[in-house]
A = this chain, B = another copy of it.
Amino acid sequence: MPGTESAREIMACAAERTVRFEQQTGEKPCLATVLVGDDPASATYVRMKRNRCAKLGIESRHVPLPASTTTEALVAAITELADDPAVHGILLQHPVPGHIDERAAFDAIPVGKDVDGVGSSSFAAMAFGRDGFASCTPAGIMRLLDAYGVDPSGKHAVVIGRSPILGKPMAMLLLARDATVTVCHSKTGDLPSIVRTADIVVAAVGKPEFVRGEWLKPGAVVVDAGYNEGNVGDVAFDEAGTRAQLLTPVPGGVGPMTIALLMEQTVEAAFRQAGLP
Protein backbone atom coordinates (compact mmCIF):
# COMPACT_ATOMS: atom_id res chain seq x y z
CA MET A 1 0.00 0.00 0.00
CA PRO A 2 2.05 2.94 -1.22
CA GLY A 3 -0.37 5.43 0.37
CA THR A 4 0.30 4.28 3.89
CA GLU A 5 4.00 3.68 3.21
CA SER A 6 4.67 7.02 1.53
CA ALA A 7 2.70 8.78 4.23
CA ARG A 8 4.86 7.09 6.85
CA GLU A 9 8.05 8.26 5.13
CA ILE A 10 6.83 11.83 4.82
CA MET A 11 5.81 11.88 8.47
CA ALA A 12 9.09 10.37 9.66
CA CYS A 13 10.87 13.17 7.85
CA ALA A 14 8.51 15.76 9.38
CA ALA A 15 9.22 14.34 12.86
CA GLU A 16 12.99 14.63 12.29
CA ARG A 17 12.66 18.20 11.11
CA THR A 18 10.52 18.96 14.16
CA VAL A 19 13.33 17.87 16.45
CA ARG A 20 15.76 20.00 14.48
CA PHE A 21 13.38 22.98 14.67
CA GLU A 22 13.16 22.67 18.43
CA GLN A 23 16.93 22.41 18.76
CA GLN A 24 17.44 25.53 16.68
CA THR A 25 14.65 27.71 18.04
CA GLY A 26 13.62 26.29 21.40
CA GLU A 27 10.07 26.18 20.06
CA LYS A 28 7.86 23.56 18.48
CA PRO A 29 6.08 23.90 15.15
CA CYS A 30 2.45 24.70 15.98
CA LEU A 31 -0.72 23.99 14.02
CA ALA A 32 -3.91 25.78 15.01
CA THR A 33 -7.07 23.81 14.23
CA VAL A 34 -10.30 25.75 13.93
CA LEU A 35 -13.56 23.80 14.14
CA VAL A 36 -16.92 25.51 13.81
CA GLY A 37 -19.94 23.63 15.13
CA ASP A 38 -20.15 20.04 16.23
CA ASP A 39 -20.42 17.90 13.14
CA PRO A 40 -19.15 14.51 14.38
CA ALA A 41 -17.23 13.66 11.18
CA SER A 42 -15.45 17.02 11.24
CA ALA A 43 -14.66 16.59 14.92
CA THR A 44 -13.15 13.18 14.14
CA TYR A 45 -11.01 14.57 11.32
CA VAL A 46 -9.68 17.34 13.56
CA ARG A 47 -8.93 14.85 16.32
CA MET A 48 -7.04 12.61 13.88
CA LYS A 49 -4.95 15.55 12.72
CA ARG A 50 -4.19 16.67 16.27
CA ASN A 51 -3.25 13.13 17.29
CA ARG A 52 -0.90 12.96 14.34
CA CYS A 53 0.65 16.28 15.39
CA ALA A 54 1.19 14.92 18.90
CA LYS A 55 2.88 11.78 17.54
CA LEU A 56 5.29 13.83 15.46
CA GLY A 57 6.13 16.31 18.22
CA ILE A 58 4.17 19.11 16.57
CA GLU A 59 2.16 21.29 18.92
CA SER A 60 -1.48 21.87 18.14
CA ARG A 61 -3.80 24.50 19.45
CA HIS A 62 -7.47 23.79 19.15
CA VAL A 63 -9.97 26.60 18.61
CA PRO A 64 -13.54 25.27 18.83
CA LEU A 65 -16.26 27.73 17.88
CA PRO A 66 -20.03 27.38 18.22
CA ALA A 67 -22.14 26.53 15.14
CA SER A 68 -23.71 29.99 15.41
CA THR A 69 -20.38 31.74 14.75
CA THR A 70 -20.71 34.51 12.16
CA THR A 71 -18.32 34.98 9.24
CA GLU A 72 -16.99 38.12 10.94
CA ALA A 73 -16.31 36.29 14.21
CA LEU A 74 -14.62 33.43 12.38
CA VAL A 75 -12.46 35.82 10.37
CA ALA A 76 -11.56 37.60 13.61
CA ALA A 77 -10.54 34.31 15.25
CA ILE A 78 -8.41 33.39 12.24
CA THR A 79 -6.84 36.85 12.17
CA GLU A 80 -5.85 36.48 15.79
CA LEU A 81 -4.07 33.22 14.98
CA ALA A 82 -2.53 34.86 11.91
CA ASP A 83 -1.04 37.56 14.14
CA ASP A 84 0.27 35.13 16.75
CA PRO A 85 3.96 34.36 16.12
CA ALA A 86 3.70 31.08 18.07
CA VAL A 87 1.24 29.68 15.49
CA HIS A 88 2.90 28.47 12.28
CA GLY A 89 0.00 26.90 10.45
CA ILE A 90 -3.78 27.37 10.48
CA LEU A 91 -6.28 24.70 9.52
CA LEU A 92 -9.94 25.59 9.18
CA GLN A 93 -11.85 22.32 9.12
CA HIS A 94 -14.43 22.28 6.34
CA PRO A 95 -17.24 22.24 5.63
CA VAL A 96 -18.26 25.14 7.87
CA PRO A 97 -21.96 25.77 8.64
CA GLY A 98 -23.86 27.05 5.61
CA HIS A 99 -24.43 30.60 6.85
CA ILE A 100 -20.69 31.28 6.89
CA ASP A 101 -18.82 32.65 3.88
CA GLU A 102 -16.26 29.85 3.75
CA ARG A 103 -14.18 31.50 1.03
CA ALA A 104 -13.85 34.70 3.09
CA ALA A 105 -12.72 32.59 6.06
CA PHE A 106 -10.20 30.61 3.99
CA ASP A 107 -8.85 33.85 2.54
CA ALA A 108 -8.32 35.30 6.02
CA ILE A 109 -5.52 32.75 6.51
CA PRO A 110 -2.27 34.43 5.46
CA VAL A 111 -0.52 32.58 2.65
CA GLY A 112 2.51 31.74 4.81
CA LYS A 113 0.33 29.96 7.39
CA ASP A 114 -2.08 28.37 4.91
CA VAL A 115 -0.62 24.88 5.41
CA ASP A 116 -3.85 23.27 4.21
CA GLY A 117 -3.54 25.21 0.92
CA VAL A 118 -7.15 26.39 0.82
CA GLY A 119 -6.75 30.15 0.29
CA SER A 120 -7.15 31.97 -3.02
CA SER A 121 -3.49 32.97 -3.01
CA SER A 122 -2.44 29.36 -2.48
CA PHE A 123 -4.68 28.31 -5.35
CA ALA A 124 -3.12 30.88 -7.66
CA ALA A 125 0.34 29.80 -6.49
CA MET A 126 -0.49 26.22 -7.52
CA ALA A 127 -1.83 27.40 -10.86
CA PHE A 128 1.14 29.63 -11.63
CA GLY A 129 3.92 27.52 -10.13
CA ARG A 130 4.76 30.04 -7.42
CA ASP A 131 5.86 29.55 -3.84
CA GLY A 132 3.02 28.61 -1.56
CA PHE A 133 1.40 25.62 0.11
CA ALA A 134 -0.61 23.27 -2.04
CA SER A 135 -4.02 21.95 -1.10
CA CYS A 136 -3.17 18.81 0.91
CA THR A 137 -5.25 16.17 -0.84
CA PRO A 138 -4.23 17.03 -4.42
CA ALA A 139 -0.63 17.53 -3.28
CA GLY A 140 -0.79 14.13 -1.56
CA ILE A 141 -2.11 12.59 -4.78
CA MET A 142 0.81 14.02 -6.76
CA ARG A 143 3.22 12.49 -4.26
CA LEU A 144 1.34 9.21 -4.46
CA LEU A 145 1.72 9.20 -8.26
CA ASP A 146 5.45 9.77 -7.73
CA ALA A 147 5.57 6.89 -5.27
CA TYR A 148 3.88 4.66 -7.85
CA GLY A 149 6.36 5.84 -10.48
CA VAL A 150 3.65 7.44 -12.60
CA ASP A 151 4.86 10.45 -14.61
CA PRO A 152 1.85 12.56 -15.65
CA SER A 153 3.73 14.38 -18.44
CA GLY A 154 1.98 14.03 -21.78
CA LYS A 155 -0.69 11.79 -20.28
CA HIS A 156 -4.40 12.50 -20.38
CA ALA A 157 -5.67 13.00 -16.83
CA VAL A 158 -9.39 13.18 -16.15
CA VAL A 159 -10.42 14.76 -12.85
CA ILE A 160 -14.00 14.04 -11.80
CA GLY A 161 -15.08 16.85 -9.49
CA ARG A 162 -14.44 20.59 -9.51
CA SER A 163 -14.40 21.65 -5.88
CA PRO A 164 -12.18 24.57 -4.86
CA ILE A 165 -10.01 22.45 -2.58
CA LEU A 166 -9.83 19.22 -4.54
CA GLY A 167 -10.89 19.09 -8.20
CA LYS A 168 -9.66 22.51 -9.30
CA PRO A 169 -6.28 22.49 -7.51
CA MET A 170 -5.82 18.86 -8.67
CA ALA A 171 -6.25 20.05 -12.26
CA MET A 172 -3.71 22.83 -11.72
CA LEU A 173 -1.10 20.51 -10.19
CA LEU A 174 -1.49 17.93 -12.97
CA LEU A 175 -1.24 20.70 -15.57
CA ALA A 176 1.94 21.96 -13.90
CA ARG A 177 3.39 18.48 -14.40
CA ASP A 178 2.50 18.61 -18.11
CA ALA A 179 -0.54 16.37 -18.15
CA THR A 180 -3.39 17.16 -20.52
CA VAL A 181 -6.20 17.73 -18.05
CA THR A 182 -9.96 17.35 -18.35
CA VAL A 183 -12.23 18.46 -15.52
CA CYS A 184 -15.60 16.68 -15.38
CA HIS A 185 -18.51 17.28 -13.01
CA SER A 186 -22.20 16.76 -12.46
CA LYS A 187 -23.11 18.60 -15.67
CA THR A 188 -20.73 16.60 -17.85
CA GLY A 189 -22.58 15.06 -20.78
CA ASP A 190 -21.20 11.59 -21.39
CA LEU A 191 -18.91 10.95 -18.44
CA PRO A 192 -18.12 7.28 -19.15
CA SER A 193 -16.89 8.03 -22.66
CA ILE A 194 -14.62 10.82 -21.39
CA VAL A 195 -13.25 8.69 -18.57
CA ARG A 196 -12.51 6.01 -21.16
CA THR A 197 -9.98 8.34 -22.84
CA ALA A 198 -8.02 8.85 -19.60
CA ASP A 199 -4.57 7.50 -18.78
CA ILE A 200 -5.00 8.84 -15.25
CA VAL A 201 -8.37 9.17 -13.49
CA VAL A 202 -8.82 11.09 -10.26
CA ALA A 203 -12.22 10.46 -8.71
CA ALA A 204 -13.23 13.25 -6.35
CA VAL A 205 -17.00 13.21 -6.42
CA GLY A 206 -17.99 12.06 -2.97
CA LYS A 207 -20.40 9.39 -4.22
CA PRO A 208 -19.79 5.77 -3.19
CA GLU A 209 -18.63 3.50 -6.05
CA PHE A 210 -19.66 6.12 -8.60
CA VAL A 211 -16.92 5.32 -11.13
CA ARG A 212 -17.55 1.91 -12.70
CA GLY A 213 -14.98 -0.55 -13.99
CA GLU A 214 -16.34 -0.54 -17.54
CA TRP A 215 -15.70 3.24 -17.76
CA LEU A 216 -11.96 2.71 -17.56
CA LYS A 217 -9.45 2.30 -20.33
CA PRO A 218 -7.56 -0.94 -19.65
CA GLY A 219 -4.27 -0.04 -18.03
CA ALA A 220 -5.44 3.29 -16.60
CA VAL A 221 -4.05 4.65 -13.35
CA VAL A 222 -6.97 5.31 -11.01
CA VAL A 223 -6.76 7.49 -7.92
CA ASP A 224 -9.71 7.29 -5.59
CA ALA A 225 -9.96 10.49 -3.56
CA GLY A 226 -13.40 9.65 -2.23
CA TYR A 227 -14.13 8.67 1.30
CA ASN A 228 -17.76 7.83 1.88
CA GLU A 229 -19.71 6.21 4.66
CA GLY A 230 -18.66 2.66 5.40
CA ASN A 231 -15.06 3.23 4.26
CA VAL A 232 -16.11 3.17 0.61
CA GLY A 233 -14.38 5.21 -2.08
CA ASP A 234 -15.71 6.87 -5.23
CA VAL A 235 -14.56 3.98 -7.42
CA ALA A 236 -16.15 0.52 -7.61
CA PHE A 237 -13.03 -1.17 -6.33
CA ASP A 238 -13.49 -4.77 -7.48
CA GLU A 239 -14.70 -3.87 -10.97
CA ALA A 240 -12.05 -1.23 -11.47
CA GLY A 241 -9.32 -3.47 -10.13
CA THR A 242 -9.67 -5.82 -13.07
CA ARG A 243 -9.06 -3.07 -15.65
CA ALA A 244 -6.81 -0.54 -13.94
CA GLN A 245 -3.05 -0.82 -13.97
CA LEU A 246 -3.04 0.84 -10.56
CA LEU A 247 -5.89 1.66 -8.23
CA THR A 248 -5.42 3.40 -4.90
CA PRO A 249 -7.26 1.69 -2.05
CA VAL A 250 -9.79 3.24 0.31
CA PRO A 251 -8.82 3.43 3.11
CA GLY A 252 -5.03 3.49 2.98
CA GLY A 253 -4.51 5.39 -0.26
CA VAL A 254 -5.16 9.10 -0.56
CA GLY A 255 -6.33 9.60 3.05
CA PRO A 256 -3.00 9.06 4.84
CA MET A 257 -1.23 11.19 2.21
CA THR A 258 -3.53 14.14 2.95
CA ILE A 259 -2.62 14.14 6.64
CA ALA A 260 1.06 13.55 5.87
CA LEU A 261 1.14 16.59 3.61
CA LEU A 262 -0.53 18.69 6.29
CA MET A 263 2.21 17.68 8.74
CA GLU A 264 4.99 18.30 6.24
CA GLN A 265 3.63 21.72 5.33
CA THR A 266 3.15 22.74 8.96
CA VAL A 267 6.79 21.97 9.72
CA GLU A 268 7.91 23.71 6.53
CA ALA A 269 5.86 26.79 7.52
CA ALA A 270 7.59 26.85 10.90
CA PHE A 271 11.02 26.78 9.26
CA ARG A 272 10.08 29.51 6.79
CA GLN A 273 8.66 31.76 9.50
CA ALA A 274 11.81 31.31 11.56
CA GLY A 275 13.89 32.19 8.50
CA LEU A 276 15.62 28.79 8.65
CA PRO A 277 16.47 26.62 5.63
Q: Given the complex, which residues of B lie within 8 Å of A10, measured CB to CB?
A: none
CB distance from A128 to the nearest CB of B (A): 5
Given A121-B121, A189-B155: A180 in contact with B180 (beta carbons within 8 A): no
Q: How many copies of this kind of chain does the complex include?
A: 2
Binary interface encoding of chain A residues 224-258 relative to chain B, with 1 for a CB under 8 A from any of its CBs, else 0: 00000000000000000000000000000000000
Q: State the majority secondary structure of interface residues on A.
A: mixed
The residues of B that contact A194 with a CB separation of less than 8 Å are: 156, 180, 197
Bin chain A's interface residue count: 20 to 34
User: Chain A, 178-189, contact with B by CB distance < 8 Å: what is the 0/1 string?
Assistant: 101111110111
B residues less than 8 Å from A155 (CB atoms): 189
Complex Cα distance, B123 from A184, in Å, reads 20
> In whole Å, how far is A187's beta carbon from the nearest beta carbon of chain B?
4
Residues of B within 8 A of A183 (CB): 171, 175, 180-182
> Lowest 4 CB-CB distances: which A-B pairs, in order?
A120-B124, A178-B187, A182-B182, A180-B188
